Amino acid sequence: AYKHFKFIERRWRSKPEYPGVLWHLAEIEILRRRKWRACRYVRKLYNRFPNHELTKDWEIDLGKVKFNGRTTKCVATLSDQKKRIRRMQWNGFADRAKAEITSLKMNEKLSQFYRDQLEAEYLVNEGQAFEAKAILVKHYKVHNTSFDYLNLLAKASARTGDFDLAVGSYYKAYRLLPKYRRGRKALFRAAFLSYQNQDYDGA
């Protein structure tokens, strides 16, 4: 079964049946007692298809989600949760995304920085960049060496018209990962914003 589903998984990624394929692959890996592989497919369902018929009852705390009647105990990363929130907003489920953010903010096991990043991501996507920037700036002194934080701060700053902070944050993010694709993308964004701001030499 694994061989057959893995074969079509590579070919059906743009088809509406794709979430079902991921579901079956997760089931198969659980039966093969390969939990880490099962969680990989569960996370894909969690962050890419939050509003699908198979996953519409899932919550933002992936560890508490029921999969075939059993708790998954899989762990979602901050990146997974950001993708999930963004997908919901893109698909017109902003209210549900906001409710999940609110529930996560009440989880005192998570750091304030972690919760604030998710809330800021939501606000930026909703066009409330000034509110997002105000939340993020509070953490700058402590977390200015976090690549994801700098990218999000730059994104919010660019949308508020604070190009100096946006360019500086993108460039600082690039300096953290200069040899990786994500780092090069941050460098390009810094250059593009400099160009938009008519700083042609900087660009």
Rounded to the nearest 5°, which phi and psi values hold at 70? -120, 145
3-state secondary structure 177-193: CCCCHHHHHHHHHHHHH
Average pLDDT over every residue of 126-134: 95
95: amino acid identity, one letter: D
What would the two tokens of residue 10 be? 């590579």
Average pLDDT over every residue of 47-70: 91
Residue 106 has pLDDT above 90, yes or no: no
**pLDDT tens-digit map of 70-84:** 888 899 998 899 999
> In sequence order, what E strands does the chain have?
66-67, 70-71
Residue 34 has pLDDT above 90, yes or no: yes
Percent of the chain with pLDDT over 70: 100
Confidence of residue 37 (pLDDT cuts 50, 70, 90): very high
Where b means 16+ CB within 10 Å and e means fewer, 33-60 reads eeeebbbebbbbbbbbbbebeebeebeb
